[in-house]
Structure 1
């Protein structure tokens, strides 16, 4: 099969796209295909003969994988949360006043107080979480804070094959604050192997200019031994474990997405099976997962670079 550009196809559906392309190419290689041939090949894809004829013609002319019919997990659903626009304006105002890094509890408490004062319904806890996480991802870049590199772990909602099952990959990220740039990362697709904080930090150091050598490194206490050698080699000191929650810092600055991939701040907050129920979906291999995560980090950094350029 020719090399296909599947970069615009959902990673979970690329295997199904390849399979459908093989079916279409087998059919198109038949010199004088009959209706029976079309029926057999249509059945292999799971569509009617009439649909198959249209699909085969489109594939023969354009050879565009997006036309094969498995490029998206489904149309984006519009969730009607019943929250009045006036309440949403209050949420935005509170986020502006308290800052996106404020705790969800503090933001929710202030939103409830203002909504009660205005005699309008207070958004639900789920709606509040969505608003807060989205606001964190798009908040303006702050210039009034010292540089810090936060090193911690998250999970990516991308089912990845491992040992006959599937897992959500864990990633160790080194994020420069307040810029929110991802400077380094490491990926683990194995249940028992943590993503390496030291590798993420080493890659961050490799990409950092020398003027950032006085930057504070924020790490979890449990990672102090892991990053000690890397920290000592670059900064000449041993790392000091953070007294604040690294997970909360990452959550407050990245929100719920990284370059289009959904982030999870707890490893067991959902199961891979829910995303693999659709027939067209299949778990990706670890190499694909790693490539997708690295692509997402680059896209995330490019968006932030555009935000900073627009601010200047």
Structure 2
């Protein structure tokens, strides 16, 4: 126990302890009925969804290290002004294939020349992503197949942790707009087996032959050797495969491609790399749904939100058969 606190603060950084204790006092006051939720939310300075998630985590775990706090005052959100939007849109038009992070740096350079004060990098990236989605993610005729993961705000009952946000594994055909080829959900964490099941889903649900060959197939790459086996399987099928290291914020790529609320489903990219016990979400009126029903519902909603024909990953039937066999082995843990 840390001095002056009834809670074990050993896993909390010294610079965060004062703020964590403040949050705990407010949460305990709410649980004791001393203050109402609007007062607690205002006192903590959190959004309503964040408050309820934090409350559930604290109620179930009583672990101070899960009550996030940077120890620094949060910067206020600043809207993007019309002049700032013009800078971002001009840079996006002249650099349509530049990664969003690099695009933000170019925006700052142009703004400095023109004497326009810009918002923070996150606001620039968010607006650039919105603008890019509304004007086509890829040039006409260019298609990339991208597999990624993201936590989503659908309440699923976990046998140990209560209601949590599941992880969505999604295979996208990214042209001028994204089309969902395959999708799987899990209560666990991103794995090669989950990725393999998602690609198999995309193979099974194809509507038509591929009209435009994929420029690349981008797959995640983790430390488990099976991740490389997954990439080898697509490469050996004749698909131009590229890997991207799995990182704590890898879920933000899916958010950038689909938006923050695709089909009305809130994405939690910053929760994607967390364990199930750290993805606890507030329960809404009604019961949690099963993972199978959630997957069916999500596929239908995303298909309506991003309409289009699901093209086959490859038109080579023999290569597709070999790929399916290897993916099946990975999905069941043989390879």
Query: Which TM-score bucket, shorter chain as reference?
Result: 0.5 to 0.7
Unaligned runs of at least 5 residues, structure 1 = 1-71, 74-78, 306-312
Cα RMSD of the aligned pairs, angstroms, is 3.9
| Aligned residue-pair number | 221
Give the deviation of 1:186 after TM superposition.
0.9
- 1:87 touches 1:121 (CA, 8 Å); kept in 2? yes
Counterpart for residue 135 of structure 2: 139
Q: Distance in 1 between matches of 2:192 and 2:165?
A: 12
Give the deviation of 1:217 after TM superposition.
3.3
Counterpart for residue 94 of structure 2: 97
| 1:207-255 CA-partner distances (Å, limit 9, x unpaired) | 15234595453323453435777x59xxx73766514568576455334
User: Which piece of structure 1 moves more, 115-124 or 236-245?
Assistant: 236-245
| 1:153-201 CA-partner distances (Å, limit 9, x unpaired) | 2221334321242322112211113242111111112358777222221
Counterpart for residue 174 of structure 2: 177
Q: Distance in 2 between matches of 1:250 and 1:103?
A: 14
SS of 2:306's partner is helix
SS of 1:276's partner is coil
Counterpart for residue 188 of structure 1: 186
2:242 is the alignment partner of 1:253: no
Unaligned runs of at least 5 residues, structure 2 = 1-47, 50-75, 310-335
- 1:172 touches 1:195 (CA, 8 Å); kept in 2? no
Counterpart for residue 65 of structure 2: none
Q: How does 1:1-312 map to 2 (within 5 A)?
A: 81-99=78-96, 101-140=97-136, 142-165=138-161, 166-178=163-175, 179-190=177-188, 196-206=194-204, 207-211=206-210, 215=214, 216-222=216-222, 223-226=227-230, 237=237, 241-244=241-244, 247=250, 250=254, 252-266=256-270, 267-268=272-273, 272=279, 276=282, 284-302=289-307
**Structure whose alpha-carbon radius of gyration is higher:** 1
| 1:243-286 CA-partner distances (Å, limit 9, x unpaired) | 4568576455334342222224441479655x528x85875543
